Amino acid sequence: MDKFGLRLGGFLMGLGIGLLAAPQAHADAASDFLDALRAHGKPVVGATLGGGYQLCGMIRGGADPQQLGGAWAFYAPEAQQYLCPDTLGAGR
């Protein structure tokens, strides 16, 4: 096999490993988010996870989590901790 074939094979193997690992990490964050909400006595419904990711998008877009009202502020601490920890410190 030539060098190109070896490089392509290595790339594809790395891509495959990455794709297999990524969903597990995502699922763990989602499960941890939902488990934390339940542990804090917060309601979890079918749209809760999607709302958490939407909240993360809002914060990444510049929204101040401390200024959000209603359910957004209610779920913000857990969403930031488990779904978008990169946003911790936003609004401070």
Domain boundaries, the chain: 27-87
- Please say if the pLDDT value at position 50 is more than 90: yes
Percent above pLDDT 70 for the chain: 67
Which among 32, 11, 33, 14 is positioned nearest to 22, based on CA atoms? Answer: 14
- Please say if the pLDDT value at position 15 is more than 60: no
- Please say if the pLDDT value at position 85 is more than 60: yes
Long-range contacts of 89-92 (CB under 8 A, 24+ apart): 90/59, 90/64, 90/65, 91/59, 91/64, 91/65, 91/66, 91/67, 92/66
Percent above pLDDT 90 for the chain: 51
Q: What angle do CA 53, 78, 55 make, to 5 degrees?
A: 30
